[in-house]
Amino acid sequence: MAGAQGAFSLREVLAAFQTCVTEQREVLLGPYLCGWRGLIRFLHSLGAIFSFISKDAVAKVQIMENYCRGEQREKYVSLQSMVEYELASGLVDVQKQSGRPDSGCRTVLRLHRALRWLQLFLEGLRTGREDSRTSVICTDSYNASLAAYHPWVVRKAATVAFCTLPPRNAFLEIMNVGTPEEAVAMLGEALPYICDVYGITQELFAQHKLLDLP
Ligand code: 1Q0
């Protein structure tokens, strides 16, 4: 997989999340979505059993990319400008209604919740023992985060897919940053940036009472 065209590299994802946060502590949507695109590329390389997850992630990233390219694109430069614009324009459904396009806020909220899973998963990988199982780290991280928002059938399918994950060291190698030790070092570098993006988004959404959007 390493060296193949379009191969995943953790470095690119790190760079994207690193450039997300501005000096004013705003989260830029461009690099945020680039980071997600990189993660989705990685997910594709894990096989068809993960395609129900990547399909949903791609759909959500696409919704956001369309907003970022659309007529109101200057309102979708950062999460802060998006929240301000969508709330002021009444574009956010606080109760489930039919027929309206998914707002940026509810879409980002789904990605944001998944970022919490990613944070826990990468931390688990980083600090795990050499012989620890990726599937267990992944399941534990999922149960402590995203699972709460998913119905039983999705939880079940996700848990089955997690069981196919390669062992920890093989998994670290397909991240394409060198040896497992180098990947662990890179994770140590990457995580604070991902945590920062997560923390700022969480605070922003909490402040505007957007954490439970249907
Ligand atoms: C390594 C294994 C990856 C496992 C990914 C864990 C996430 C499981 C999520 C299961 C989602 C199931 C599909 C549908 C869910 C939707 O119902 C739900 C809610 O949306 P809605 O519109 O119905 O209200 N959607 C979500 O919760 C969004 C889920 C997005 C998941 C995106 C996961 C992207 C993962 C990338 C792989 C990362 C690998 C990490 C190693 C790379 C190192 C940087």
Q: For residue 113, which atom of ligand 1 is closest to its CA?
A: 27
Q: Quick one: fold of 10-95+102-207?
A: Glycolipid transfer protein, GLTP (1.10.3520)
Position 8 pLDDT exceeds 90: no
142 alpha carbon – ligand 1 mean position (Å): 9
Residue nearest to atom 20 of ligand 1 (CA): 110
Model pLDDT, residue 65: 98
194 lines ligand 1 (CB under 6 A): no
> How far apart are the C-alpha atoms of 108 and 198, rounded to whole Å?
11
DSSP one-letter string for the chain: -TTSTT---HHHHHHHHHHHB-TT--BBHHHHHHHHHHHHHHHHHT-GGGHHHHHHHHHHHHHHHHHHHSTTGGGGSBHHHHHHHHHHTT---SS--SSSPPPHHHHHHHHHHHHHHHHHHHHHHHHS-TT--HHHHHHHHHHTTGGGGS-HHHHHHHHHHHTTPPPHHHHHHTTSSSSHHHHHHHHHHHHHHHHHHHHHHHHHHHHTT-TT--
Q: What is the mean pLDDT of residues 1-6?
A: 44
**How confident is residue 142, by pLDDT bands cut at 50, 70 and 90?**
very high
184 lines ligand 1 (CB under 6 A): no
Q: What is the mean pLDDT of residues 98-117?
A: 93
Model pLDDT, residue 111: 98
Q: For residue 146, which atom of ligand 1 is closest to its CA?
A: 27
**How confident is residue 193, by pLDDT bands cut at 50, 70 and 90?**
very high
Model pLDDT, residue 86: 97
**How confident is residue 2, by pLDDT bands cut at 50, 70 and 90?**
very low
Q: For residue 125, which atom of ligand 1 is closest to its CA?
A: 41
66 alpha carbon – ligand 1 mean position (Å): 20
Position 3 pLDDT exceeds 50: no
Q: Find, among 174, 184, 175, 191, the residue nearest to 18 by Cα.
A: 191
16 lines ligand 1 (CB under 6 A): no
Residue type, 165: L
Model pLDDT, residue 12: 85
Q: For residue 13, which atom of ligand 1 is closest to its CA?
A: 44
Model pLDDT, residue 6: 56
Q: Find, among 187, 183, 195, the residue nearest to 20 by Cα.
A: 195
56 lines ligand 1 (CB under 6 A): yes
Model pLDDT, residue 174: 87
Q: For residue 36, which atom of ligand 1 is closest to its CA?
A: 34
Radius of gyration of the chain (CA): 17
Q: What is the mean pLDDT of residues 155-184?
A: 93
Domain boundaries, the chain: 10-95+102-207
Q: In the numeric block, which tokens belong to residue 94?
A: 């606080």
109 lines ligand 1 (CB under 6 A): no
Least confident among 65-69, 112-116, 169-173? 169-173
**How confident is residue 118, by pLDDT bands cut at 50, 70 and 90?**
very high
Model pLDDT, residue 95: 83
Strand partners, 27: 21
What are the φ and ψ backbone dihedral angles of 99, each rounded to 5 degrees?
A: 85, -5
**How confident is residue 98, by pLDDT bands cut at 50, 70 and 90?**
low
Model pLDDT, residue 5: 45
Residue type, 143: N
Q: Is the ipTM, as predicted for this complex, more than 0.90? A: yes
Least confident among 89-98, 113-122, 152-161? 89-98
Q: Find, among 202, 214, 193, the residue nearest to 83 by Cα.
A: 202
27 alpha carbon – ligand 1 mean position (Å): 20
